[in-house]
Structures are given as C-alpha cells and as structure tokens.
A and B are shown apart, each in its own frame.
Chain A
Amino acid sequence: MSEGRLPDRPPEEAPATEPGDYAPSVAARLAFLQRSGGVITPLLTAVFAFFVGGIVVLVTTGKNPLTTYRAIFDGTGLNWLFPWVTGAERTTAALNLQQTLLLTVPLILTGLAVAFAFRCGMFNIGGQGQYTVGAVSAVIVGAYVSTSHLPHVVLAIVVATVAGAAWAGIAGLLKATVGAHEVITTIMLNWIAFWTASWLFGIGGPLQLGGVGNESVPASETVKETAKLPVFWGDPLLQGLHIGFFIALGALVVYWIVLNRTTLGYGVRAVGFNPDAARYGGIPVARNYFLAMAISGAFAGLAGATDVLGWEFRLDQTSIQASQIGFIGIAVALLGRNTAVGVFFSALLFGALLNGTSTTNLDPSIFRPELAQNLTLIIQGLVVLFVGADVLILYVWSLRRKLRRQAGAADTA
C-alpha cells in the first residue's frame, strides 16, 4: 500500500475535516450514529430509558418496577405472540394486541414522516398539523361524498395524503425559496391546523355535525359506512384491527424503495448529507427540500386518514386538541434511526407502551394507571434525550472498546 494510511480510525482522532470547516450537518451526525453500533445503539437507548423509568417508579411510588413493567407488558397484548399463552388469557391478549397495533399504525406513519425529512437534513416538527389536516380531509370526504366502498376509501385516503403533503409543502416551499427554517414554519403550521380544525368542528362551526340535540357537541359528522376501512382481525364493534395496518406496512416498503431505489431518494439523501456537494453536482437543492417535506407530510396525512377511517370515524374538538401522535412520531423516528425497520419496531414499542399503560388495561393494585401514563411520557422523553445525547452513548460505546484494548495491551506489556 503506497499510501500507508491508517486502516482503522482510532477513536481519539477528530473526524477528518478541511481547514475552516464547521461542525458536520445534523443528517451527517445522525448517519454516523446509524453506522456506529447499528442496532445496538437504539437498543441501548431504549434499555437505558426503561431503566431510568424503573428507578423513577421505585423512588416515587415504592412499587416494584419489574412487576409494573410486567403488568404493562401484559396490557400490550404482545404476550399473544407466545404460543404457550392459551384460553381466556389468549383472548384478552388478542384484544390487547389489536389495540396496540391500532396505535402502532399511525405511529409508523408519523414516524416515517419525520424520518423522511431527517434523511434530507430537515426537522419536520409539523407531523401533528399534517396529521390533523389529513384527518380533517378524510372526515370531509368520508362524510359528505357518496359513492361505493372501494372508490370512497381510496378517494378519502388520496385526498388526505395530498392534503398532508400540501400542508408540509408550504414549509418546504418557504425553505426552498426564502430559506425559512422548517422547525419554525412547521410548528406555526401545527397551530394553524389545530385552531382551524377546532373551529371547523366546534360549536357553531361550519362543519359541526347536524341533527337535533347536537348543538352543544363540538364534533364532525360521522363518516359513511362506505368510507370505513374493513376490519380484518377482531370484532368491528369492539374496535378491531383494520386494514390500515397493511397500509402502514406498505408505507414502510414505499419509504425504503423511494429512498434507496429512486432518483428522488438519491437526491434527498445527497442533499441531506452534503448540500454543498449536491449543489455542485447539479442536484436541485431547493427542489429537493420542497419534495422531501411534501413526501414527509404525505405520510403524516395518511396517518390521519387511517385513524379516521379505521376507528375514529369522526373528529371532535377534544381529541383534535389532545392528540400527540405527530409528536410521538418524532421520538419514533429518532429511536428508529430513520430506517424503515427501525421505525417499525420503534412504533411498535411506543404503541405498546401507550396501550399497556392506558387506564383500561392496568390493574390499579399494581400501579395507578394515571401514573403509568406519565411513566410512558417519561420514557418517551428519556428516549429523545438519550438519542439527542448521542455523544454520551457513543462515548460509553467507545469506552468499551478502549477498555478492551487497554486490557489487551496490559496483557502484552
């Protein structure tokens, strides 16, 4: 080797940069994270978060964190996957798992929304607003359009997806033309969606549901039967799992394909890693910012549609205002390291947590359900914190290698 270069970069060296360089981009750092540790880092992050959550349980309530977690686990229904669970226990687990997966579906989609924007180097904090816009569109098409089953469902989904794309596209356009930072614009757009939807379905609002005696109900019309997504597992009357689940799985595949097998995905990734090189290479950077945000919003809008058409069937002011699904999507994407597989498992984790700690599932003698929901929030926050403190996790990881090498050196000395 005439160049004589070090084949393995030692952990002490700073990443190679040219003189006068600035810190690497967010996407570059996230990419660095992805490579180092692979699946270990997200696993470690989740374990860390649960560990700290367990300590909080112990310290604040004196309850045994392990039994608490066990109770939460049973509440998720994931024990249905174990073949040794039978009988009545199995039936309960099935019901629980359906609920968990019902929550997982929109989380996958909002997670994909955030992840796609991240791959282009952008923070889409507007998943909630895009979700809302999608949900509103789905309710409108679902309730006011009359047509047969398949076209109705397809139309509602398409309109919702496009609406979400357009909503995010506003932020993308602003970034592409005047360089407005997408964090600011998407948050603002969240609030616009929030209040517009609240007004639309509020008391006296233009789309409030009609009918005598409903004047004080701030909700929308219910979608027609022809717009509802068919349930494939469980009883529709008991909120079984609808085919939106397969739509979400399909979205995961589409995400992977777009990023890795299309020219659009190539452009998005190039701009995300290094906009300077992309620009010099002739790649239209501004156009990619817009497209990436639009696609990101499309996923979130689709999430709104699957919820409305799958089990909500109508929107009311309270649920619009209380919904956090777009924001949990951020944690999902971060933990899942912006990959399709990662987002799936991460969404499953959060969906399981949300369901397992809900009031109907948790035995109050083991753990007070209201506290359990806060526990979920704590764990969510910890995940985001630990992912954000990637330096910490990486330091711990490289410490392991350093210790191993020192042990090796001590042996040979």
Chain B
Amino acid sequence: MPDEPILELRGITKRFPGIVANDAIDFDLRRGEAHALLGENGAGKSTLMNVVFGLYQPDEGEIRIKGEPVTMRSPREAINHGIGMVHQHFMLVPVMTIAENIALANTPTHAGVLLDMDAAERRVADLSRTFHFALDPKARVENITVGQQQRVEILKALDRNADILILDEPTAVLTPQEARELFAILATLKQEGISIIFISHKLNEVLAIADRISVLRRGKIIDTVPREGATEEGLARMMVGREVLLRVEKAPSQAGDALLEVEGLTVRDDRGLAAVEDVSLSVRAGEIVGIAGVDGNGQTELIDALSGLRRAESGRIVLAGRDVTNRDARYVLDAGYGHVPEDRQRRGLVLDFSLAENIALHDYAEPPDSRFGWLFPGRLIARARRLLKEFDVRGGGPRTRAAALSGGNQQKVVLAREIGRDPRVLLAAQPTRGLDVGAIEFVHRRLVEERDEGRAILLVSLELDEILSLSDRILVIYEGRIVGEYGPDVSEEELGIAMTGGGRETEAA
C-alpha cells in the first residue's frame, strides 16, 4: 500500500505535573517525505518525538508503524522498528574518536568477539565520503567543531539503517553551507525511500526542505499544510498566535567615534595554531558591526582575546581610548566592555546561583553591592528586581535559581546584566542561539535600541539572517582573517561565498 503512512500518531497525549505537553495529537508521515514539525520552544515538539522514540510513554493514544500499532518501551525498540533520532543535545563521548563513537552503537567485530576498529573506521570514512561530511574517523570528538559533532550524530543514525529519521533542531549549530549540504543529503535520503521528520523553529529552513509542515502550539497541532502556498509570515502567525516581526525595523545608524579598535591582532588557539591572523577592525558608537563566518574560523578565539580571556600574540585592542591588549577580564570589563557569551549556560550564568547573584556577577565586589568585603544581599535583590522588570524576564524573581528559567529568559538575564552596566562596547556572541521566535524578536529589538543609545555593538553570529537583519556593516571571517567587508544590502550568496574563502575582493577597513 504505497499511500499508507509509514508512521501514524493518533490522539497522542502526554502529561507532566502541571502541564499537558502533548494534547490529542494526530500526525502522520508518508514514505519518502520530509515532514517538518514547527513550533516555539516549549510547544511540545521534542516531547512528541521523544514519545515516538520510546523515551516517554504516551498517556493516551496510539502509534502505528507501517499500519501496525506498536508500543515502544525504550529507544532500543524504536531503533529495531527502524526509527533513528538525532538529538539537539549530542550524545557523544568526547574523549573517544568518531569511529569509536559510531562503533558504540553498532559494533563491528571479528567473528563476533574481537573488536574490529578498522571496519568501524572504514565504515565512517565511506559514509562520510558518500554524504560529504568530511570527517576523519580517527579524530577525537572533543577536538572537532560543534558543527562536525552534529554530523557525527547524523552519521550514527544513518549507520543504523533507520528508515524513519527524526532530526531535532539539526541546524541549530550548522552554517548556511552546511545546512544546505544537509538538505542535499536529506533529499538523497528521501529518494532512497527514507522518511524524515524535521523539528525546527526556523521558518526559512522549514520552507526550504519540508514537503509538509505541521505547526505545534502549546501542545496542540494547529494545522498541517503543504509547502506550496506556505509563507514565513503565515507560519509564524500559526506558531505564535499573533503577528511577528521577522525583520527588525531600524533607522539608519548615526555612527560616532570608534569605541573599539583592533589592529593587527593575532591569537593562537589551544593547539598553538594561529586562529586569528592579523585582524583589524573598528566599531563606532551607534553602529552594529556583524562578523559572519562558518563555525570554527577563529570567532571564538577573537572573542576570547577581546574579552581578556586569551592572550593575543601580537596586535592591539583599544577600547574607548584605553589599551586593553592582554589585560585580564576584570580590566576589560571595567574599561566599559559588555559581553554576551555564546554559551549562556557555561559562561554566561552560574546556574546554581539566584538571578540576583548572577546579575551581580561582575560587580559584586564593589559598592553598592558590597563594601570592604561585606555583601549586601538586599541591594543585589533590589537591583535585580529593577533589571528583571525592565527586560521582561519571566519564570522567576531575584531569588529564583537561574537553572529554573527557560533558555530565552536566561538570555534576557545575561542581557540585563551586561546592558545594565552601561557598557560603551557590547559584544554579542550568538545572542539568540536556542531561542524561539518571540525571544529572538526581543533580543534583536533590544540590540538595536542599545545601538541607538550610542553603544558600539559587535555581533558575532552563525545565523546569516541575524547578521543581515541587525548589522550596519558586515565583516566576514575566514580562517582567522577578515576577508571582506560589506554593507547591509549584500546578498546571502555573496556572503556565503566569502565565508568559504572564495572571491576575496574587498579587504576590511
């Protein structure tokens, strides 16, 4: 029966204490189609897929695979039914090589007893070549980039011969090029008859790859639409329930003096290689400069050097007139620097601290938060209350632990802290990573507001949309060098070419 859906969910309901995560969901997947599941963070997409993958048991409803009702009590059973899942949060062993990680799931042996690592490495190399993943089987997972780790996860699922592939926000860490490569791979897989469910909250990607799109909001399926006729605005409205501003409205920038000047900066990475080579740039008051680039081209090292967390081998960094080259983080912060880190949970927040304590992270050792070493918790709480209100942080008050907040609200806390210190220069690294449409809108609007207040903002992001939407000037970084400078009307294609090293016409100012 060629028209019968390969996977069918009927009336799936899943409850957790205090909330119905999935509410009577009907969903089906046809053979050889790519079906996108679209919704905001917390809408219930991941829960639904965890039900399909056997990680959760539904409270009500039925799952049918190839027409047969099944119950899956564990991921092992799901895998046996041909379901493969690539999670948003990777499940790789960092100290093992790629081949070892793949072999963990599916171990090749000599005569069923001895481990055959050569076979595992060969399999990885073959799959990697077939799908153009460019992965070295002998590389350790902890040494490859996040984007490459993502590809290993996908490889794992492919290696286990899944005919239903579930991808949970797979492009969260991929660059446009890598995302396009992924889409090409998915297209090939579809031709091979593999059916794909693609969870996302990114409208443009969903429109690029999906055959059908189901929109989830607050645990319910709002609608399932074919790709023809679907628009970003229409989908966004279904996701959020109201009109959403996708492109930030902003007045042209009124740029003033240069507040951040970088000259000839060279920075080495942990392995001693030059990650940033002879980079020069400047950011003026009242402008947003965006740095676009593929993950792993020196952005992290550049950010670390600017923030005082990594030594610069040569060059100068001048912030608001002060030379901050090779000064520690404290000095740079005091010079008028604000930093929204790309990893809010690891670098931006102490998750076990309260919101008030987190907001005081930079300033707790100074009055009014403390005097002669004595802390005044009351003042921390008062300042936090004010900032939390101003930045519309939901999910808790000054005494709530940071870990209890959602990703979007955590990011707002980080922003509140950094902007609340009135910095002259603000560096925003991946400021909307992992955030849903509503939170992204907030962050973008806020960054533009701060620009209009006269701050100099340096935006480093892997999201081209974000760079194009916010930046007044765009720099492209490739292999540690600035290879191009563009105005905000540059096309994605042109940026994409520069990001992969082609067509270096203009040098950075």
Task: Mark A residues whose CB is within 8 Å of B.
Answer: 1-8, 10, 12, 14-22, 28, 31-32, 260-267, 269-270, 273-274, 276-284, 405, 409
CB distance from A279 to the nearest CB of B (A): 7
Knowing A7-B19, A8-B17, A261-B377 touch, does A273 contact B353 (C-beta < 8 A)?
A: yes
B132-176, CB under 8 A of A: which get 1 and which 0?
000000000010001001100000000000000000000011000
Q: Is the CB of B403 within 8 A of A16?
A: yes
Q: Is the CB of B16 within 8 A of A8?
A: yes
CB distance from B420 to the nearest CB of A (A): 14
Chain A positions within 8 Å of B309 at CB level = 279-280
Q: Is the CB of A282 within 8 A of B329?
A: yes
Q: Is the CB of B307 within 8 A of A31?
A: no
Chain A positions within 8 Å of B218 at CB level = 4
B70-78, B225-233, B367-375: which lies at the A interface? B367-375
CB distance from B340 to the nearest CB of A (A): 11
Q: Is the CB of A6 within 8 A of B351?
A: no
Q: Is the CB of A273 within 8 A of B350?
A: yes
Q: Is the CB of B361 within 8 A of A3?
A: no
One of B19, B90, B339, B361 near A20 (C-beta < 8 A): B90
Knowing A262-B375, A269-B353 touch, does A10 contact B438 (C-beta < 8 A)?
A: no
Q: Is the CB of B55 within 8 A of A12?
A: yes
Knowing A263-B370, A269-B353 touch, does A7 contact B438 (C-beta < 8 A)?
A: no
Tell me, in angstroms, the Cα distance from A12 to B56 when the chains sit together.
Answer: 8
Tell me, in angstroms, the Cα distance from A31 to B351 when the chains sit together.
Answer: 11
Chain A positions within 8 Å of B406 at CB level = 3, 5
Chain A positions within 8 Å of B55 at CB level = 12
B297-338, CB under 8 A of A: which get 1 and which 0?
000000000010100000000000000000011100100000
- Assess whether B18 is interfacial by the CB under 8 Å rule: yes
Give 4 new A-B contacts, CB below 8 A, not counting A10-B17, A31-B352: A19-B150, A263-B364, A276-B346, A280-B348
- Assess whether B100 is interfacial by the CB under 8 Å rule: no
Q: Is the CB of A1 within 8 A of B394?
A: yes
Knowing A7-B18, A274-B351 touch, does A18 contact B89 (C-beta < 8 A)?
A: yes
B27-35, B39-47, B203-211, B457-465: which lies at the A interface? B39-47
Look across to chain B and name the residue whose beta carbon is closest to the beta carbon of A274: B350
CB distance from A266 to the nearest CB of B (A): 5
CB distance from A83 to the nearest CB of B (A): 40
CB distance from A291 to the nearest CB of B (A): 12
CB distance from A48 to the nearest CB of B (A): 26
Look across to chain B and name the residue whose beta carbon is closest to the beta carbon of A262: B373
Look across to chain B and name the residue whose beta carbon is closest to the beta carbon of A271: B350
One of A14, A16, A277 near B350 (C-beta < 8 A): A277
CB distance from B201 to the nearest CB of A (A): 12
CB distance from A338 to the nearest CB of B (A): 13
- Assess whether B8 is interfacial by the CB under 8 Å rule: no
Tell me, in angstroms, the Cα distance from A10 to B357 when the chains sit together.
Answer: 26
10 pairs, CB–CB < 8 Å, chain A vs chain B: A5-B395, A18-B89, A20-B149, A28-B351, A266-B365, A273-B351, A277-B347, A281-B362, A282-B333, A409-B59
One of B42, B339, B373 near A6 (C-beta < 8 A): B42
Inter-chain CB contacts under 8 Å: number: 143
Q: Is the CB of B345 within 8 A of A280?
A: no
B421-462, CB under 8 A of A: which get 1 and which 0?
000000000000010101100000000000000000000000
Knowing A279-B309, A281-B329 touch, does A3 contact B438 (C-beta < 8 A)?
A: yes
Tell me, in angstroms, the Cα distance from A287 to B418 when the chains sit together.
Answer: 24
Knowing A3-B436, A6-B19, A8-B16 touch, does A19 contact B173 (C-beta < 8 A)?
A: yes
One of A22, A265, A277 near B349 (C-beta < 8 A): A277
- Assess whether B94 is interfacial by the CB under 8 Å rule: yes
Chain B positions within 8 Å of A14 at CB level = 89
Knowing A279-B329, A280-B348 touch, does A19 contact B19 (C-beta < 8 A)?
A: no
Look across to chain A and name the residue whose beta carbon is closest to the beta carbon of B95: A22
One of A4, A31, A274, A405 near B346 (C-beta < 8 A): A274
Q: Is the CB of B395 within 8 A of A19?
A: no
Look across to chain B and name the residue whose beta carbon is closest to the beta carbon of A22: B94
**Closest CB pairs A-B (n = 9):** A4-B42, A282-B330, A281-B361, A5-B406, A5-B42, A282-B329, A273-B352, A274-B350, A280-B347
Look across to chain A and name the residue whose beta carbon is closest to the beta carbon of B141: A20
Tell me, in angstroms, the Cα distance from A6 to B16 when the chains sit together.
Answer: 8
Q: Is the CB of B394 within 8 A of A3?
A: yes
Q: Is the CB of B18 within 8 A of A8?
A: yes
Look across to chain A and name the residue whose beta carbon is closest to the beta carbon of B369: A263
Chain B positions within 8 Å of A15 at CB level = 403
B403-418, CB under 8 A of A: which get 1 and which 0?
1001111000000000
- Assess whether B419 is interfacial by the CB under 8 Å rule: no
Chain A positions within 8 Å of B16 at CB level = 6, 8, 10
Chain B positions within 8 Å of A8 at CB level = 16-19
Chain A positions within 8 Å of B364 at CB level = 263, 266-267
- Assess whether B275 is interfacial by the CB under 8 Å rule: no
Knowing A266-B364, A266-B375, A274-B351 touch, does A3 contact B346 (C-beta < 8 A)?
A: no
Knowing A20-B90, A20-B94, A274-B350 touch, does A3 contact B439 (C-beta < 8 A)?
A: yes
Chain A positions within 8 Å of B328 at CB level = 282, 284
One of B172, B307, B341, B353 near A270 (C-beta < 8 A): B353
Tell me, in angstroms, the Cα distance from A265 to B370 when the chains sit together.
Answer: 12
Q: Is the CB of A19 within 8 A of B88?
A: yes
Tell me, in angstroms, the Cα distance from A276 to B344 when the chains sit together.
Answer: 11
- Assess whether B343 is interfacial by the CB under 8 Å rule: yes
Q: Is the CB of A17 within 8 A of B345?
A: yes
Chain B positions within 8 Å of A32 at CB level = 352
Chain B positions within 8 Å of A282 at CB level = 328-330, 333, 361-362
Chain B positions within 8 Å of A274 at CB level = 346, 349-352
Chain B positions within 8 Å of A283 at CB level = 361
Q: Is the CB of B343 within 8 A of A18?
A: yes
